Amino acid sequence: QVHLVESGGGLAQTGGSLRLSCTASEPTFYIYEMGWFRQAPGKDREFVASVSPNGGQTNYVDSVKGRFTISRNRAEKTVYLQMDSLNSEDTAVYSCAARAWRGTNYYTELSDGFAYWGQGTQVTVSS
């Protein structure tokens, strides 16, 4: 069981930046692969990014490549999502999630297998 709490959401202008944080309460945080997802109004939840337990492998959905950066800090038990060059399409509720690490290319889809979820944080990008 992993308990996750997100923070850092809010209002940003087009072209601006926000950094989301997701902190785990369990010391075993470091063994999990971590991911960020988002869900916009009227749309399905979408995978955004993931990072391996050692931080060495990351994955991104095409729409955020070059703009978003996922990272993690083991000592702080926190995963971050740095979001730059924001646009209106990034408006959504962002949630972090954790899944067991099975190695590279184990899961069929980047979004598969995430078993533990935070409550989400709202990101709104306005022009």
DSSP string covering 40-57: -TTS--EEEEEE-TTS--
What is the average per-residue pLDDT within 63-90? Answer: 97
pLDDT digits (tens, 9 = 90+) for 100-109: 998 888 888 8
**Residue 69's pLDDT is what?**
98
What is the average per-residue pLDDT within 26-32? Answer: 90
Nearest to 55 by CA among 85, 30, 90: 30
**Residue 103's pLDDT is what?**
84
**Residue 27's pLDDT is what?**
86
What is the average per-residue pLDDT within 59-86? Answer: 97
The answer to whether 94 and 88 are in contact (CB under 8 A) is: no
What is the average per-residue pLDDT within 9-27? Answer: 96
Sign of the Cα pseudo-torsion (21, 22, 25, 26, in order):
negative
Residue 70 is encoded by which pair of tokens? 């996922």
Query: What Å distances lie between residue 118 and 20, 37, 53, CA to CA?
Result: 12, 10, 18
Average pLDDT of the chain is 95
Is the pLDDT at 110 greater than 90, yes or no?
Answer: no
Is the pLDDT at 111 greater than 90, yes or no?
Answer: no
The percentage of residues in the chain with a pLDDT greater than 90, rounded to a whole number, is 86
